[in-house]
C-alpha cells in the first residue's frame, strides 16, 4: 500500500533530499488532501518539531481534522512527539496512530520509561516507532544526530511498545533513485511486526517488491512529481 506524506516546514509542505536540501514546496498545504484523496492512509510529519524548531501545531491540527472529516483518511502523525501531553493531544484530535521517533531513545538506549507510559496511555495499537537510518546507523532529531545503533538490532527490543515500525532510508530520501531493497529485507528478518518503508521509492515495481515483503510504502517526492500513484 502506498501512503502519501505531507512533511511540514514553516507552514508549507516540503520535500527534502537526504533530509536537508529542499527540493520543492507547496504553499497551499490543504490542496494536497485533494491530490491524495484516493489513498486510505496519510502521513503528516512536522519536520520543524522534529528538529526542535517552532512547531506547526495549528496547521497539523487543521490537517488532521480536514483529512478525517472531509476525506475519510486514516492519519498517522509524527515529528517532535516527545512528551505525554503532546501524545495525548494528538490522540484526542482523532489521530489514528502517532509516530514516536527520537523520544524512543535516550542516551543511546531504549527510553523504556517514556515508551511504557505512552503505550499504556495511548494503547500499543496507536504507536508506530520510527527508526531512520543514515550510513547504516540510526539517526534522530530530524536526522541531525547519529547513533552507533542499527535498526535491525533495536527492533526486537522495541516490539512490545508499538504495533509497527516506520523505517526511512535517509541516504535515499527524496532522491527517487530506488529503494534499498536489501536493507528492507534485513529489517523484515528482524521483526514480525508491520513495517512502513520510506526512502528513494520511485516505481511501481519497488512498491510490489515491498508489498511482497509485507511492507507498506510511505512515499513523498515520487507522488509529488507524479512518478507513481
pLDDT for the residue 229: 66
Q: Has residue 229 been placed in a domain?
A: no
| pLDDT at res. 16 | 86
Residues with a known catalytic role:
7, 132
Q: What is the mean pLDDT of residues 182-190?
A: 95
Is position 130 within any domain?
A: yes
- Find the CATH number of the domain harbouring 108: 3.20.20.70
pTM: 0.94
Among 14-18, 199-203, 206-210, which is the least confidently predicted range? 14-18
Q: Which domain holds residue 169?
A: 2-224
143 or 34, greater pLDDT: 34
Domain presence at residue 137? yes
Supply the DSSP symbol for 160.
Answer: G
Asked whether residue 190 is domain-assigned, the answer is yes
Q: Which residue, chain included where needed, has cell 472529516?
A: 69
pLDDT tens string 37-66: 999 999 999 999 998 899 999 999 999 999
167: pLDDT strictly greater than 70: yes
Q: How many structural domains is the chain composed of?
A: 1
Amino acid at each position: 500500500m502506498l501512503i502519501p506524506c505531507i512533511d511540514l516546514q514553516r507552514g508549507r509542505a516540503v520535500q527534502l533530499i537526504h533530509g536537508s536540501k529542499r527540493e520543492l514546496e507547496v504553499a497551499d498545504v490543504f490542496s494536497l488532501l485533494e491530490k491524495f484523496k484516493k489513498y486510505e492512509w496519510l502521513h503528516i510529519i512536522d519536520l520543524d518539531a522534529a528538529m526542535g524548531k517552532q512547531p506547526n501545531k495549528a496547521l497539523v491540527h487543521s490537517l488532521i481534522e480536514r483529512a478525517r472529516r472531509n476525506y475519510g483518511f486514516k492519519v498517522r502523525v509524527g515529528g517532535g512527539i516527545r512528551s505525554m501531553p503532546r501524545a495525548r493531544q494528538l490522540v484526542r484530535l482523532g489521530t489514528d496512530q502517532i509516530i514516536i521517533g527520537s523520544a524512543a531513545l535516550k542516551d543511546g538506549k531504549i527510553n523504556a520509561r517514556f515508551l511504557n507510559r505512552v503505550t499504556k496511555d495511548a494503547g500499543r495499537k496507536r504507536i508506530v516507532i520510527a527508526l531512520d537510518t543514515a550510513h547504516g546507523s540510526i539517526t534522530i532529531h530530524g536526522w541531525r544526530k547519529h547513533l552507533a545503533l542499527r535498526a535491525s538490532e533495536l527492533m526486537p527490543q522495541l516490539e512490545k511498545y508499538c504495533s509497527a515500525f516506520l523505517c526511512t532510508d535517509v541516504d535515499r530520501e527524496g532522491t527517487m533513485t530506488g529503494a534499498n531493497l536489501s536493507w528492507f529485507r534485513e529489517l523484515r528478518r528482524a521483526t514480525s511486526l508491520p513495517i512502513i518503508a520510506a526512502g528513494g521509492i520511485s516505481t511501481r515495481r519497488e512498491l510490489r517488491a515491498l508489498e511482497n515483503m509485507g511492507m507498506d510504502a510511505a512515499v513523498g517526492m515520487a507522488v509529488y512529481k507524479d512518478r507513481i500513484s
